[in-house]
Each structure stands twice: as structure tokens, then as C-alpha cells.
């Protein structure tokens, strides 16, 4: 048993309000530099939608992640030693700038310095890459809140196995629904970006599992951009280096939450330590599709187990880290309560960012009915609906049922459980049970029999429901972010002020930006 520690995260999607505060906080700190204008290490996508970059989930296009071979082993889908050698000077699976967007600004001075004329001056958009005027065709959240055109939502790769009838029902105006999906680097246990780099520039830190790119070793092969199935590795065209989310490791080493998490308005984000068995990573990543999640969860170890603690100390894991793992909110959500799931586990990277799937909207459905009788009673100027439908909110009690949810179960399963619909049902039942139980406690208008039946069906106790409610709705800052003390005694970040070199070719360099190998 090779016990190691990993900084892991949970995002509770029912609490996300899509405000993009996390994206702006990250942008202002890390990617407000030349060459990084199009980079969004943290971005918030609207689902259903194509995401950022466009259709990043479609590995038929980008060839990211791992694939299982006939002999049971796994191999990189679009990179690796043999494929990488043949494509090392031209990567055919690399997303281009149009798959992201061409970063732009406006000629604001034209508003002030334009000569007097009959027309009001305008600030024309110009490219931040070429400096030439452009027509804006795309942005980092172009399809936010189902905006843009219907093509974005309808081209969501997760709709691939949903019938045309179900799709049409999803996109009827009366039934339309959305939820937000915040994304950062998953800092995976089996990162494809690390395996794909010909220069060996990408590494996973032993003390906390954060995946970083050594800017001095990086030679801009960009295999990491292709290999990462989540497209969270970016190429800086100005410095000629690849960059990615660093999980704000200078902040973590100082005991502070990452910027995106600290600024989160909805308080959806949790961060803590997990202990895992590194000797079983290959076994977990090579599991069958229907057993991927269970295999990943099996390598996450109980931090209270004496054998685990002994093995962790033998590997040099500090007592403070073990103590943090015992108080970790991530362990509770992922292993103890089994509420959170990884995003696209079929990519086989074993991501360490987990999501509590969204339960809302679940309160109403639209059904066919005969409205002719009601229309005859309406005032002549009242709007008459041509379609015979009814927005039905009738339920036996206040809460709706899972049968009334407006997202097809297949769609959520394609996102979070590699298509396992029963796994999503289990999570939804638990989330619904917590709501019904707390309604009984606070308002008292639900019968004891109903509460007991719901808790039993979800496999929960009242105490467990109260604990989930407390950590979901009433957590203090130190309960959401349980960060162990840093033990990098010779870390340069603890001796020098890294902000002095922000914008240079990497973190901690004291030389000007210069392209070339």
C-alpha cells in the first residue's frame, strides 16, 4: 500500500448561481498577461452547451484522455511515444484559436479623440493578437444562460445517445432548463498531460498532488493540450510555453484557499486532503466503463484506519496532513456520504475534482392537455396558446418527484457517471431526502411516515441528513477549506515574493520573456 496525499475538491452544483466571480478572480491574478488573454483556467459553462473550447468533451475531435486497449491496458488516445513521435512537429488534434476565441479589446481612445462629426464615435473591436480590427464571433462564455443560437445547446456532446424526441422536449421554451458547470484543472491521479509531454516538463507534486508545468523545461510541443481531455492546458503564444491552473499553490502553501474558491459567491466549493493508494492507480484507470467510479473511489483510503495512518507516516506524510484528511469535507462528500462524482470518468484520468450533481429544476413538468375549454373563457385580448400544453406543478406534497425532472437522466449520467443512470438516481434520492427531512424539522408540514420512507429509500439516517445539510448550507470557512500546513522547507515560494515576477516566462524567473527553444 503506497499511501499518498492529494488536495481534492468538491463543487456543489445546486448552489452555483453562474456569476463568474471565480473566473474573474482567477483571470485577474494569473492570466491578465500577453499571450494568456484567451486562457480561462477557471471558467463556468452553461449546460446543455458546447463548453469552452467548443465541444471539448468530444474526444473524437481532440483525442484527449486515455483509452482501454484489447489487452486490458490503457494508452493515450491522441499522444504517447509512437503517435507523439510521428506528430511531434505537427499536431493534427490541437484545438486552434477559433475553437477558443480570438481575444479582443476595443479602441476606447476613439471615443475621446475622434474629430467632431455628425455621427457618434464608436469603439471598434481589435484583436489582441494581431492588433487588426475584427468581427467578434465567439467569447469565453458565448452561450451563457443558453444564449447565442440554439446550435450551441443542441450540439452538446452529452446528447449523443438521447433520442430526437427527448431533445425536442428539452428545448421547448416552456420546458427549457439549464445549470452551471464551473471547471478548473482536475489535478488528476492519472494525468494524461503528464504522460504526454515529450520534454517531461509536467509533473505532479509529491506532497499535495498539484499538477504543474516547469516553464524552463517546457519546449512548446503542446502534446499536453491535446492529451488533456478537459482542455485545461493552454499554449502561451507570446512566451512559447504551455500553462495551466496551478491551484494557487502559493496560497495553499500559506494556508489560504485558492482565489476561485475564496471568491465564490454561492459558496459551492470545498477543498481538502484525500489519502489514496498510489499502487492501485493503474488498476483503477483500467477498469471497465461500468466500474470506473467504484474503482476510483476504492483507492481513496479511510484516514482513520490505523494501517492507513501507519503507511502514510512511512511514506513521509506529515501528521498535520493526516489530521487534515480526517477533517476533510471532500472525504465526507465523496466516500462517507457518496454524494459527489467526477466529471467524465470515462476519460480515465481519475480526476480529483468531484461534483454534487444538480437536483434542480425538479418541481414541474409540461404535459399535453386540451385547452380549448379554458380558451373559450379567456378575455378576447388575452394571449391564447396555440399548443395544447399545461405547466403542471401539481404534486401530492410540496416537493416534486424525480420523475418530474426536466433533464433526461441519461444526460446527467453522461456527464458524471459514464452513463450509469442508477448511480445518478442514488445521488438524487439522497439530495431529495435531505430536503424532505429538513422541511419536516423546520416547518413540520410533512408526515413522519413520508420522511422515514424517503430516508429509508435513500439509505440514510436522520443524523446523516442533518450532517449533509449542515455542511451544505451552514458551513464556516474553515469547514469548507481544510488546508494542511505546508512542509516544503526549502520552497522558493516561501522565501521570495513571487508577485515580483508575475508576467514573466514562468513563476519565479528573474529574466525577460523570450521566445525560442
C-alpha cell at 188: 488528476
Decide if 126 contacts 103 (C-beta within 8 A). no
Beta bridge partners of 182: 44
- Report the pLDDT value the prediction gives residue 149, as an integer from 0 to 100: 74
Interval 94-121: pLDDT, tens = 999 999 999 999 999 999 998 988 889 9
Candidates 476, 459, 230, 452; CA nearest to 355 is 230
Region for 508 from its dihedrals, namely left if φ exceeds 0, alpha if ψ lies in -120 to 50, beta otherwise: left
pLDDT digits (tens, 9 = 90+) for 231-269: 999 999 999 999 999 999 999 988 899 999 999 999 999
Highest mean pLDDT among 68-82, 156-170, 222-236: 222-236
The answer for 371, left when phi > 0, alpha when psi is -120 to 50, beta otherwise, is alpha
Strands 365-368 and 389-392, sheet pairing: antiparallel
* C-alpha dihedral sign at 206, 210, 216, 219: positive
Q: pLDDT digit string (tens) for 271-303? A: 999 999 999 999 999 999 899 999 999 999 999
The reported pLDDT for the residue numbered 397 is 60
- pLDDT number for residue 506: 45
What is the model's pLDDT at position 148? 75
How far is Cα 268 from Cα 308, in angstroms, rounded to an integer? 30
The answer to whether the pTM exceeds 0.85 is: yes
Query: Model confidence over 48-65: pLDDT tens digits?
Result: 999 999 999 999 999 999
314-351 per-position pLDDT tens digit? 999 999 999 999 999 999 999 999 999 999 999 999 99
143 forms beta bridges with none
pLDDT on residue 146: 87
For residues 415 and 342, the answer to whether their CB atoms sit within 8 Å is no
At residue 375, the pLDDT reads: 60
Domains for the chain: give ranges and CATH numbers: 3-101+140-354+481-496 (3.30.70.20), 358-475 (1.10.3650.10)
**Torsion angle of C-alpha atoms 251, 254, 255, 260, degrees rounded to 10:** -10
Answer whether residue 489 shows pLDDT above 80.
Answer: no
The DSSP call for residue 481 is B
165 band by pLDDT with thresholds 50, 70 and 90? confident
Residue 117, CA atoms < 13 Å, CB-side half-sphere? 10
Distances (CA, A) of 92 to 83, 88, 180, 431: 11, 10, 31, 43
In this prediction, residue 445 carries a pLDDT of 83
CA triplet 470, 435, 260: central angle to 5 degrees? Answer: 50
CA atoms of 498 and 146, how far apart (whole Å): 39
Give CA 122 to chain center in angstroms.
Answer: 37
Closest listed residue to residue 103, CA positions, set 156, 173, 154, 27: 27
> Rounded mean pLDDT of the chain?
87
Q: What angle do CA 291, 296, 297 make, to 5 degrees?
A: 100
Residue 368 reports pLDDT greater than 80: no
Is the pLDDT assigned to residue 89 strictly greater than 70? yes
Which pLDDT tens digit goes with each residue over 1-48? 899 999 999 999 999 999 999 999 999 999 999 999 999 999 999 999
Mean pLDDT to the nearest integer, 358-383: 61
Q: What is the pLDDT of residue 380?
A: 58
Q: How many other CB atoms are there within 10 angstroms of residue 344's CB atom? A: 25
Residue 92's pLDDT band (cuts 50, 70, 90)? confident
Secondary structure string (H, E, C) spanning 101-150: CCCEEECCHHHHHCCCCCCCCCCCEEECCCCCECCCCCCCCCCHHHCCCH
**Closest alpha carbon to 210 in 256, 244, 259:** 244
**Amino acid 369: pLDDT:** 64
Kindly tell me the sign of the dihedral angle through the C-alpha atoms of 408, 413, 414, 416. Answer: positive
> Who's near 118: CB < 8 A, 6+ residues apart?
none
pLDDT of 154 over the 50 cut: yes
Which residues lie below 8 Å from residue 320, measured CB to CB, with a gap of 6+?
A: 484, 485, 487
Residue 169's alpha-carbon distances to 164, 370, 425, in angstroms, are 9, 18, 21
pLDDT at 505: 46
Cell of 307: 494501517
The pLDDT score that the predictor gives to residue 15 is 95
> What are the tens digits of pLDDT across the range 400-454?
677 777 788 899 999 999 999 999 999 999 999 999 999 999 988 888 998 999 9
Amino acid at each position: 500500500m503506497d499511501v499518498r496525499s492529494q488536495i481534492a475538491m468538491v463543487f456543489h452544483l445546486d448552489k452555483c448561481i453562474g456569476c463568474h466571480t471565480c473566473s474573474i478572480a482567477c483571470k485577474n491574478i494569473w492570466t491578465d498577461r500577453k499571450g494568456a488573454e484567451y486562457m480561462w483556467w477557471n471558467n463556468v459553462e452553461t449546460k446543455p452547451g458546447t463548453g469552452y473550447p467548443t465541444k471539448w468533451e468530444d474526444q473524437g475531435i481532440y483525442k484527449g484522455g486515455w483509452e482501454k486497449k484489447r489487452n486490458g491496458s490503457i494508452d493515450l488516445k491522441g499522444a504517447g511515444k509512437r503517435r507523439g513521435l510521428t506528430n511531434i512537429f505537427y499536431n493534427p488534434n490541437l484545438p486552434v484559436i477559433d475553437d477558443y476565441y480570438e481575444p479582443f479589446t476595443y479602441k476606447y481612445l476613439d471615443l475621446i479623440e475622434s474629430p467632431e462629426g455628425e455621427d457618434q464615435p464608436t469603439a471598434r473591436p481589435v484583436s489582441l493578437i494581431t492588433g487588426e480590427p475584427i468581427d467578434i464571433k465567439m467569447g469565453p462564455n458565448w452561450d451563457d444562460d443558453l444564449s447565442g443560437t440554439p446550435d450551441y445547446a443542441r450540439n452538446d456532446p452529452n446528447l449523443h445517445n438521447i433520442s430526437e424526441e427527448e431533445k425536442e422536449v428539452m428545448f421547448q421554451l416552456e420546458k427549457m432548463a439549464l445549470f452551471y458547470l464551473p471547471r478548473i484543472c482536475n489535478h488528476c491521479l492519472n494525468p494524461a498531460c503528464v504522460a504526454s509531454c515529450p520534454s517531461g516538463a509536467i509533473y505532479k507534486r509529491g506532497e499535495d498532488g498539484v499538477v504543474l508545468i516547469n516553464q524552463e523545461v517546457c519546449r512548446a510541443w503542446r502534446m499536453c493540450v491535446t492529451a488533456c481531455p478537459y482542455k485545461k492546458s493552454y499554449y502561451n503564444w507570446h512566451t512559447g510555453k504551455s500553462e495551466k491552473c496551478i491551484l494557487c499553490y502559493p496560497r495553499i502553501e500559506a494556508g489560504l484557499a485558492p482565489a476561485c474558491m475564496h471568491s465564490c459567491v454561492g459558496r459551492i466549493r470545498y477543498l481538502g486532503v484525500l489519502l489514496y493508494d498510489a499502487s492501485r492507480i493503474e488498476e483503477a484507470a483500467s477498469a471497465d466503463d461500468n466500474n470506473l467510479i467504484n474503482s476510483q473511489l476504492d483507492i481513496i483510503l479511510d484516514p482513520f484506519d490505523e494501517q492507513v495512518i501507519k503507511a502514510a507516516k512511512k511514506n513521509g506524510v506529515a501528521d498535520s496532513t493526516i489530521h487534515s484528511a480526517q477533517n476533510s469535507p471532500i472525504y465526507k462528500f465523496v466516500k462517507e456520504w457518496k454524494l459527489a462524482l467526477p466529471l467524465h470518468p470515462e476519460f480515465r484520468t481519475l480526476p480529483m475534482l468531484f461534483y454534487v450533481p444538480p437536483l434542480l429544476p425538479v418541481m414541474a413538468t409540461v404535459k399535453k392537455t386540451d385547452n380549448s375549454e379554458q380558451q373559450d373563457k379567456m378575455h378576447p385580448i388575452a394571449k391564447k396558446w396555440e399548443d395544447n400544453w399545461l405547466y403542471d406543478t401539481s404534486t401530492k406534497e410540496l416537493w416534486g418527484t424525480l420523475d418530474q425532472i426536466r433533464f433526461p437522466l441519461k444526460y446527467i449520467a453522461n456527464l458524471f457517471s459514464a452513463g450509469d443512470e442508477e448511480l445518478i438516481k442514488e445521488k438524487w434520492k439522497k439530495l431529495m431526502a435531505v430536503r424532505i427531512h429538513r422541511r419536516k424539522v423546520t416547518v413540520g408540514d410533512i408526515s413522519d411516515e413520508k420522511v422515514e420512507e424517503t430516508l429509508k429509500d435513500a439509505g440514510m439516517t436522520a443524523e446523516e441528513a442533518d450532517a449533509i445539510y449542515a455542511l451544505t448550507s451552514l458551513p464556516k470557512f474553515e469547514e469548507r477549506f481544510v488546508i494542511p500546513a505546508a512542509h516544503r522547507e526549502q520552497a522558493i515560494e516561501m522565501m521570495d515574493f513571487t508577485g515580483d515576477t508575475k508576467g514573466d516566462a514562468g513563476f519565479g524567473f528573474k529574466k525577460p520573456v523570450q521566445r525560442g527553444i
